Each structure stands twice: as C-alpha cells, then as structure tokens.
C-alpha cells in the first residue's frame, strides 16, 4: 500500500487555524484527562455545544470528500473488508463502497454522526445496505478482534484523538497480515 499524504491547498490563515487546533488538541490530550477530551469531542459532534455541526456536510463536504478521495486514490479496496475509524458523516465510507469494498464497518465516537451517515445511505436506496454496518467506538480501543479487516482507514480524525499512537496501533492490530492502514491528517507543512 502506498504512503499517502494529502497536500490540499489551504490559505495561510486556514492553515494557521488548522495547525493551532491540532496543536491545542495534542497539548490538551497529553496534559489533561483523555476521557474528558473524548467526551468533549463526542458532545461536540452530537451538537451539544453548537448547531454548526448540523451543517457539517454543507460546509465541509468538498474538503472532506477531496481528502478521502486522495487518501484512497491508490488503495485497492475491491472485495476487501474495511474499517473506517472516525467515519463522521460517512464520506470516506461511501467512497469505499463505490470502489467496491466487500464490507465496510463505519465507526465513530458520535452517535449523531453515525445517524447522519446511516440516513445518507438510506437516501441512496438499498444499494449498499448489506455491505455497511455502523458502530459506536473509541478509536483508541477498537472493539474488534485482531486481524479482522483487510484494511483500516481514517480521514482527518487524528487531531481529535488524545493518544494518536494508540489509535494507529489499534488500526494496525485489527488488520490482517498483508493488509494495510491509511490515515489522512493535517500536517504542519
């Protein structure tokens, strides 16, 4: 599996904001209570703090879709079982299905985001309903046996995870020998 780094263009101020947010998440995640940080992320995406999350796809679909498409561009998922960690509204999961993944497990810490993803799929009809399942999960402690998937993926979630190394270790643990893990994340570059 090829190494993939999304190099999408951001304005200077957008890059500064994104990188400051990632730095803040890293600092808080490493100096504060991890459980509290995860709870804040969960509540945020469940729309407990703001209504902005209701426009998640309207405001960010093009950005997240481009990042997910780039992440998966050179990855062959045809007839493979794939785990999408931090699936959000399902953008990456739907690309996996369109690329003919055999089975997609879409997981997120936010029940609201899982409902949004499921609702979007239902609007498309029953085309993929037997190929995708949704799970509430903590990306640092995946509730699956070792070597359960051919591939694990995650799109732009790392800045929200307190222990990023633990998340990557878990994504690798659940992948079968010869499989791969692919993550998209914001960088300082």
Summarize pLDDT for 44-96 with one digit per residue, the tens: 888 887 777 778 787 888 888 888 999 999 999 999 999 999 999 999 999 99
pLDDT at res. 92? 95
Higher per-residue pLDDT: 22 or 177: 177
What's the token pair of residue 3?
């190494």
103 within 8 A of 86, measured Cβ to Cβ: no
Using the predicted structure, report yes or no on whether residue 3 has a pLDDT greater than 80. no
Using the predicted structure, report yes or no on whether residue 126 has a pLDDT greater than 60. no
pLDDT band at 30 (very low <50, low <70, confident <90, very high): low
Three-state DSSP state, 83: strand
106 within 8 A of 135, measured Cβ to Cβ: yes
Three-state DSSP state, 2: coil
Between CA 50 and CA 58 the distance in angstroms is 15
12-184 belongs to which homologous superfamily? Answer: Vaccinia Virus protein VP39 (3.40.50.150)
Between CA 67 and CA 46 the distance in angstroms is 23
Choose among 177, 184, 171, 186: nearest CA to 82. Answer: 171
pLDDT at res. 7? 45
Phi-psi region of 83 (alpha: psi -120 to 50; beta: other; left: phi over 0): beta
Q: What is the pTM of this model?
A: 0.81
């Amino acid at each position: 599996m090829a190494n993939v780094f999304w190099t999408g263009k951001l304005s200077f101020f957008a890059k500064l904001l994104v990188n400051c947010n990632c730095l803040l998440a890293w600092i808080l995640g490493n100096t504060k209570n991890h459980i509290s940080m995860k709870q804040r992320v969960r509540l945020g995406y469940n729309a407990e703090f703001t209504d902005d999350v209701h426009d998640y796809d309207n405001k960010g679909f093009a950005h997240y879709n481009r990042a997910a498409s780039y992440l998966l561009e050179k990855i062959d998922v045809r007839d493979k079982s794939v785990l999408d960690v931090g699936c959000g509204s399902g953008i990456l999961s739907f690309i996996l299905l369109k690329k003919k993944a055999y089975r997609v497990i879409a997981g997120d810490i936010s029940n609201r985001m899982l409902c949004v993803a499921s609702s979007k799929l239902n609007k498309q009809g029953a085309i993929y309903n037997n190929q995708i399942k949704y799970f509430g999960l903590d990306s640092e402690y995946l509730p699956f046996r070792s070597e359960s998937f051919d591939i694990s993926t995650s799109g732009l979630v790392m800045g929200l995870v307190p222990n990023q190394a633990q998340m990557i270790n878990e994504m690798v643990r659940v992948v079968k020998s010869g499989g791969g893990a692919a993550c998209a994340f914001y960088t300082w570059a």
